Amino acid sequence: MSAPFGRRLCEVSENHSSGGYRVFSLLDREGPTPLPGQFYMLAAEDHWEQLGGRPFLPRAISVAETGPAAAGVRLDFLIEGIGPGTGRLCELAPGESVWVNGPLGNAFREPREVSAGAAGAILVGGGIGVAPLALLRRRFGERNVPVRVLLGFRDAEHSGGLDDLFACCEVRLASEDGHAGHQGYVTDLLAAMLTGDDAGSAVVYSCGPAAMLEAVRALCAAHGVACELALESPMACGYGACFGCAVPKPEGGYLRLCVDGPVIAGDRVAEVTHA
């Protein structure tokens, strides 16, 4: 799927808190329906460049859910305010407009496309990285792909999306401070699951902080289970022009995460390191 040429203004229809994060929705009258794993480059129309006196590039944000709207499609985003760009997106009010370019990047594939004989999916999300897994879980559900969902959060402040994006399915939780589910890392839950008899018939799909993705990659490699990882790196253009998002390939050379990713097969990554 190719992105519509150029950016377009989309209206904010909703913005509410979700745990320590925010969920906001845009009405996209022109764009195609995105696939799970794809992202958009977003910039608030007003007060984007003025705040902090620094010119902003648009910010890359994964689509977390989508649905029909009166005209076009509704796009839902889960966002954590960690700096001026995401902070501005967190405070968007209904009726405001956002410059949108996307959907961009590739998408997660179905288990049988990733690994012959694989029938089910294990979704492993950490922190704000749970966002793209919500749409992926729904798409797999619609295609009768068995899905198990493992989500981990540092603490209550750095968590969200559960009631909004994962309300309709069983989720196994882990938290580092023990406020919800298993006290420890979400990869503890994955390690236990991968020792089960049916682990080899699943593909693991993961998005989250680099250290978590590296643990997922290494666990899957050790158990001979295929995985797809949604990676992050700072992005300036989002469509292949600036090379700002380049990450090294194990065999040499570079991948541009915005066009070759953000979803990369685990065996194409030597080690996930912070961008």
Ligand X SMILES: Cc1cc2nc3c(=O)[nH]c(=O)nc-3n(C[C@H](O)[C@H](O)[C@H](O)COP(=O)(O)OP(=O)(O)OC[C@H]3O[C@@H](n4cnc5c(N)ncnc54)[C@H](O)[C@@H]3O)c2cc1C
- Give the footprint of ligand X on this chain (CB under 6 A): 39, 59-62, 77-80, 82-87, 128, 131, 232-235, 262, 275
Query: Shortest Cβ distance from residue 78 to ligand X (Å)?
Result: 6
238 scored as a contact of ligand FES (CB under 6 A): yes
Q: In this structure, are residues 214 and 247 in contact, taking their beta carbons and an 8 Å threshold?
A: no
221 scored as a contact of ligand FES (CB under 6 A): no
**Size, binding site for ligand FES by CB under 6 A:** 12
Q: In this structure, are residues 1 and 32 in contact, taking their beta carbons and an 8 Å threshold?
A: yes
Those residues whose C-beta lies under 8 Å from the C-beta of residue 37, and which sit 6 or more positions away, are 62, 105, 106, 107, 108, 132, 136, 230, 262, 263
Bridge partner residues of 123 (DSSP): 149, 205
| DSSP sequence for 31-73 | SPPPPTT-EEEEEESSSSSSGGG-PPPPEEEE--EEEE-SSSE
Q: Choosing among ligand FES, ligand X, none, which partner's interface includes residue 238 (Cβ < 5 to 8 Å by kind)?
A: ligand FES
243 scored as a contact of ligand FES (CB under 6 A): yes
58 scored as a contact of ligand FES (CB under 6 A): no
CA distance 268 to 47: 40
Nearer CB in complex with ligand FES: 211/236: 236
Phi, psi angle pair for 121, to nearest 5°: -130, 140
75 scored as a contact of ligand FES (CB under 6 A): no
Nearer CB in complex with ligand X: 59/74: 59
156 scored as a contact of ligand FES (CB under 6 A): no
Please report, as ranges, the residues that interact with ligand FES according to CB under 6 A.
235-238, 240-245, 256, 258
